[in-house]
Amino acid sequence: MKKILLIGVCFWAFSLFPFLEVYSDDEKIFALVNLSSLDNKVVDHARKFAELNLSVPVHMLELDEPVSGGLDKQAQAVSTLFSSNHLAVVALVEPSEKTKHHGLIVYSNKVAVINVPSLKDGTEDHQQYQWRLDRQVIRSFGFLAGREYCSNPSCVLKQYRTLKELDQVGRNFCPPDAQKFRKEAKVQGAQFLPRQ
């Protein structure tokens, strides 16, 4: 009876967090961590959008302890999640120290943190906010995989200075950057999803 109850509790818990996935020890993955108060639906949308547009699995990770401090402290904490399975780890954070910086990338640790409150600034439009998150997640994975800024205004890797400029860049890679991302990710051991 206890065994059946335990199995039932496990299935119930998994149903609450369907975006948490299990992966094999030898699989090289891209991972997303939510350390913010964002609704799970918003986070899962960003994860699925990245997965669809990058054609690689993006798994959810959890950090056991809450983290306070600025972007650098948050990035340091997220770095503890990085293992040999990870190609890159991107975290959605709410730094306790106010900053207008939209994020921080620590290339040496293959970790990026995205400052969620800074992307909300100036908009009550849910779709616009979601698209900002989507862009930042894809940009972060792209930069951590070795991509650089792009001059194509339709490319998500286009450099920007303001949220208004961020809203005008594309939501995914331009074709040359998409091809380069796939090539670099493949060299690093990424598993690719079937094209849809």
Q: What are phi and psi of 153, to 5 degrees?
A: -65, -15
H-helix or E-strand containing 113? strand 111-115
User: pLDDT band at residue 71, thresholds of 50, 70 and 90?
Assistant: very high
Residue 174 domain-assigned (yes or no):
no
Residue 74 located in a structural domain: yes
**Average pLDDT of 116-139?**
93
Angle, alpha carbons 86-193-176 (nearest 5°): 85
- CB distance 53 to 172 below 8 Å: yes
94 and 36 Cβ atoms separated by less than 8 Å: yes
Rounded distance, CA 178 to CA 173, Å? 5
List the domain range (segments joined by +) for residue 126: 20-148+180-187
Note whether residue 64 is domain-resident: yes
Residue 29 lies in a domain: yes
CA distance 193 to 28: 13
- Token look-up 């640790």 returns 109
Q: What is the DSSP letter of 194?
A: P
Lowest mean pLDDT among 113-127, 139-153, 164-178: 113-127
pTM for this model (two decimals): 0.84
Residue 125: CATH number of its domain: 3.40.390.10
Q: Report the distance separating Cα 107 and Cα 172, nearest Å.
A: 21
* Gyration radius from the chain CA atoms: 17
58 in any annotated domain: yes
pLDDT of 112 higher than 80: yes
Q: Does residue 159 form part of some domain?
A: no
Binned at pLDDT 50, 70 and 90, residue 196 comes out as: low
Report if residue 155 sits inside a domain: no
Structural domain total, the chain: 1
Amino acid 20: pLDDT: 41
Position 116 in a domain? yes
Longest dimension (CA), the chain: 63
